[in-house]
């Protein structure tokens, strides 16, 4: 197994008081790697998009957190299936088929164009021929994958830190999701927006969103309360947890939410809790759970959800 760089600085660990210590993830220090990895996940995710059946709210295209990174889960291909996984411990991309064939690509500094060529060639060697829309989405000034020689950074330590935050957040989100007995999404990673998310539904259809494209219209066809984690950007200078309601009830933005550092971002129409506030808290898990629960309550109460029918009592 490839040894991590300075593992004590990367891995979550317990302090002398028995509380979890999470790694720092300053956006400015890994932005170029973040942008490159974003493109790589889009390339892999677009293959899943092409091959998997359409699922409500685009759940069928997302990636999932694993014990060592991210995976597509099994993807159907003709009468077989294959799976693509990012391994952020050994820093490699692994493609495995149901017939036992494997191809691996090193995750190392290389251009998006080179990664794209290697990945598509590896699929072809495995007898998998898929054509994707080879231009990024939800990314400013997109460059087609096969022409992108600009994004080419890969900082192993930064990626390891990012994955550790995803792995920890995934566990907390799953605990939060389990408290809801109504319709809820899996905890999944959307490669378009590069965020880990979990969504609860009121059970009611939402009014059509004016001017929405087909993707957005499907995503928000029903009333939701959604929360997630992303590394920052779009005017937010650092990693953050977010929560929003769609459609947004009139009183949502004026609700009091916890913990204290959480705030409403009027441009994004989301509540935010900065990751640094979470990782520096006495109990990061309880701190984040307060945010998830109170922002959900803000959405459900102001949106007149049938909370008694939708929530599992906390024992």
Measured distance CA(289)–CA(286) in Å, rounded: 5
Give me the pLDDT at residue 1, please: 35
Question: Is the pLDDT assigned to residue 16 strictly greater than 80?
Answer: no
Least confident range of 2-6, 162-166, 182-186, 300-304: 2-6
Which pLDDT band, with edges at 50, 70 and 90, does 210 fall under?
confident
For 127-166, how does the pLDDT look when each residue is reduced to its tens digit (9 = 90+)?
A: 999 999 999 999 999 999 999 999 999 999 999 999 999 9
Q: Average the pLDDT over 226-236 and give the result.
A: 95
Angle between helices 156-177 and 27-51 (to 10 degrees): 60
Q: Average the pLDDT over 203-220 and give the result.
A: 91
Q: Average the pLDDT over 285-299 and give the result.
A: 98
Measured distance CA(227)–CA(214) in Å, rounded: 22
Give me the pLDDT at residue 78, please: 95
Among 13, 286, 301, 82, smallest CA distance to 176 is for 286
Tokens of 21: 């210590």
Phi, psi of 197 (to 5 degrees): -140, 155
Give me the pLDDT at residue 20, please: 64
Q: Is 74 exposed, middle or buried (0-12, 13-18, 19+ CB in 10 A)?
A: middle
Which pLDDT band, with edges at 50, 70 and 90, does 11 fall under?
low
Measured distance CA(148)–CA(32) in Å, rounded: 13
Give me the pLDDT at residue 4, please: 43
Which pLDDT band, with edges at 50, 70 and 90, does 5 fall under?
very low
Least confident range of 56-60, 90-94, 153-157, 199-203: 56-60
Q: Average the pLDDT over 174-185 and give the result.
A: 97
Q: Average the pLDDT over 40-54 and give the result.
A: 96
Give me the pLDDT at residue 209, please: 86
Give me the pLDDT at residue 32, please: 98
Domain ranges of the chain: 25-147, 168-310
Query: Alpha helices, DSSP H only, in 52-141?
Result: 112-125
Measured distance CA(187)–CA(289) in Å, rounded: 15
Torsion of CA 254, 251, 273, 158, to 10 degrees: -140
For 76-126, how does the pLDDT look when each residue is reduced to its tens digit (9 = 90+)?
A: 999 999 999 999 999 999 999 999 999 999 999 999 999 999 999 999 999
CA 156 to chain centre: 19
Q: Average the pLDDT over 227-248 and give the result.
A: 96
Helix/strand/coil for 29: helix
Q: Are strands 69-71 and 80-87 parallel, antiparallel or unpaired?
A: antiparallel
Give me the pLDDT at residue 313, please: 82
Give me the pLDDT at residue 3, please: 39
Give me the pLDDT at residue 315, please: 66
Residues 6+ positions from 175 with CB-CB distance below 8 Å? 289
Give 63's DSSP letter.
B
With a pLDDT cut of 70, the percent of the chain lying above it is 93
H or E element, residue 246: strand 240-246
Q: Which whole-number Å values give the CA distances from 141 to 34, 136, 154, 312, in the listed order?
A: 16, 9, 20, 44
């Amino acid at each position: 197994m490839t040894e991590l760089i300075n593992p004590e600085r990367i891995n979550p660990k317990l302090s002398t008081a028995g509380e979890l210590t999470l790694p720092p993830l300053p956006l400015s220090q890994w932005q170029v790697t973040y942008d490159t990895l974003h493109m790589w996940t889009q390339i892999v995710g677009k293959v899943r998009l092409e091959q998997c059946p359409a699922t409500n709210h685009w759940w069928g295209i997302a990636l999932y957190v694993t014990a060592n990174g991210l995976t597509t889960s099994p993807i159907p291909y003709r009468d077989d299936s294959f799976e693509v996984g990012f391994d952020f411990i050994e820093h490699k991309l692994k493609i495995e088929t149901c017939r036992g064939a494997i191809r691996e690509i090193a995750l190392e500094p290389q251009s998006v164009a080179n990664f794209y060529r290697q990945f598509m060639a590896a699929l072809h060697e495995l007898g998998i021929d898929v054509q994707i829309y080879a231009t990024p989405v939800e990314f400013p000034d997109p460059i087609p994958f096969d022409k992108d020689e600009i994004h080419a950074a890969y900082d192993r330590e930064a990626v390891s830190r990012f994955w550790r935050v995803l792995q920890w957040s995934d566990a907390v989100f799953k605990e939060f999701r389990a408290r809801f007995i109504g319709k809820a999404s899996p905890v999944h990673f959307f490669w378009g927006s590069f965020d880990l998310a979990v969504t609860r539904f009121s059970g009611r259809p939402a009014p059509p969103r004016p001017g929405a494209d087909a993707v957005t219209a499907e995503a928000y066809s029903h009333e939701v309360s959604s929360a997630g984690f992303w590394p920052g950007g779009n005017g937010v200078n650092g990693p953050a947890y977010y929560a929003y309601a769609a459609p947004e009830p009139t009183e949502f933005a004026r609700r009091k939410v916890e913990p204290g550092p959480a705030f409403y971002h009027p441009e994004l129409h989301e509540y935010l809790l900065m990751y640094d506030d979470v990782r520096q808290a006495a109990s990061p898990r309880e701190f984040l759970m307060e945010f998830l629960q109170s922002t959900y309550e803000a959405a459900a109460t102001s949106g007149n959800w049938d909370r008694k029918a939708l929530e599992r009592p906390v024992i």
